Structure 1
Amino acid sequence: MKLTVLGNTGPYPKAGGACSGYLLENGDSKVVLDMGNGTLANLRTICDIEDITAVICSHLHPDHISDLFVLRYALEMRGMTIPLYAPDSPDKEFDRLSYKNVFDLTPITEDLKLEIGGMTFSFMEMRHPLKDFAIKAYDGKSTFMYTGDTAMCQALEEFTKGVDVLLCDSAFLDDVDSAIHLSMEKAIQNANNAGVRRLILTHFSPEISPQRYYEIGNGRFNGRLSKAEIMANFTI
């Protein structure tokens, strides 16, 4: 599997930046994880609209889904329909995704299992103000997990076990207790406890450089620490 960062900040982008979005590839399959503002333009430097296999959204906050609504125009103009998997709450936001019927829309639940392009996807609900699911993908050799947005919780600790590469919310540079997001320190602590091989920090504050997160976190993680710079790619 190959991961490319399309956007890395929240809840709004820095100048020239983009909010949360990632491309996970396996062979010819291209699965987009979240589509915050600015991510579609970055995605189009890698592949055509026609190449998108599916989109999976962790939750329905605007900084994770806003470009779905411009992707909708592109799909409609091409007469295309693609699979979209997303939580069904809030109802109003979920219903907006069905407009024009360009998305083959399926609600995410913890019981949902997907087979896409040689990857097996599974999900677990995290701790966030909106219904939010961490996304796990296994290709028969390695396991990748994207936390979405989450605070520290037992579900996060359990779901991280056995993960090789973890793309993790680390919104706060300082170690704070939050019911919304992880701090970088808590992201590192959770990854260390689970024995993760590689930790990729993301969901940075748009007012703080990703390099600053890396400089402070480097040396605290037992494995390989990376920062999710836009258009960076990682082999899983």
Structure 2
Amino acid sequence: MASDLLRLTVLGCATPYASVDNPCSGYLVSSGATRVWMDAGSGTLAQLQRHVRLDEVDAIWISHLHADHSADLLTAYYAALYADIRLAAPIPLYGPPGIADRLAHFLTNGSTRSPVESAFAVHELADGHRVRVGALTMTSRAVAHGIPAFAVRVEAEGRSLVYSGDTAPCANLTQLAEECDVLLCEAESAQAPTEGEQVHHTPEDAGGTADVSRAGRLIVTHVGRFLTPDQAVARAAARFNGPVDYAAPGTTFSIG
């Protein structure tokens, strides 16, 4: 059935701040009745509600704790505990080490720590972390972003999606993406740094990662402000012979 397909819906992909028509990084991944909110950048909670209520989400997965990937966890906390949402249990939240304390630091306004764990059942990611969420199997690998950061491979019914999160090209991402159906890969940088640590992909890097990993399809996302989506797609396609698309906000991709 079509509803059993692995699907990726782009809630937003702007960096480093939301634009009027594009929230920051956030995606809804679904298969059958299973729905996972993947990254929660600014503005994505509003777009999530076009597709699913917060209390209907089976889990939240966060790649790293930069605000353009996690800030809407703060408003999700208030929605979960103090509004019209009625949770049967805290929402499983998978994220980098220290995510619960980071949330509590922002949310606590007095001497009593905010009850983060009442809204979220927190599970800290580690390299090789694997979890089954409904119909989805999610495998996380540590990647190279200068802070604790993770990519994820999502699998269902023999189909596979790999999301890079934010990272420089690295072996863990290439291995995770091996022969995946779709690689959703960031293309933040207009050019690689001439000095210092590289922490993002260029479009050419995204194409190269897709090529080396033998991905079936590449979707470029998190395109930097000094690039247009068409430029990012064209530059990635110079390094990858398969289909290349842009993660336009609001678009749903069927995978496999």
What TM-score does the superposition give when structure 2 sets the normalisation length? 0.85
SS at match of 1:93: helix
Gapped regions of structure 1 (runs ≥ 5) = none
Q: 1:131 — aligned with what?
A: 148
Percent identity among equivalent residues?
A: 31
Kindly name which structure, 1 or 2, has the bigger radius of gyration based on alpha carbons: 2
Tell me the distance in 2 between the aligned counterparts of 1:91 and 1:117: 23
Q: What residue in structure 2 maps to residue 99 of structure 1?
A: 114
Select between 14-23 and 224-233 the one with higher mean Cα deviation: 14-23
Give the 5 Å matches for 1:59-98.
59-76=64-81, 77=83, 78-80=85-87, 81-89=90-98, 92-93=101-102, 95-96=104-105
**Residue in 2 aligned with 1:151?**
168
Instruction: Give, in whole Å, the separation in 1 of the partners of 2:128 and 2:202.
Output: 29
Q: 2:223 aligns with which of 204, 207, 221?
A: 204
Give secondary structure in 1 for the equivalent of 2:180: coil
Change (3 A) 1:40 1:205: same
Shift in Å, 1:36: 0.2
Q: In the alignment, which of 95, 104, 126 is matched to residue 109 of structure 1?
A: 126
Q: Deviations over 1:140-190 (max 9, x none)?
A: 311111010000122222222121110001112335565210101011011
Unaligned runs of 5+ in 2: 1-5, 108-112
Q: Partner amino acid for 1:99?
A: S
Tell me the TM-score normalized by structure 1.
Answer: 0.92
CA RMSD of aligned residues (A): 2.0
Rounded Cα–Cα distance in structure 1 between residues aligned with 2:99 and 2:74: 16
1:51 aligns with 2:70: no
Secondary structure of the residue that 1:34 maps to in structure 2?
strand
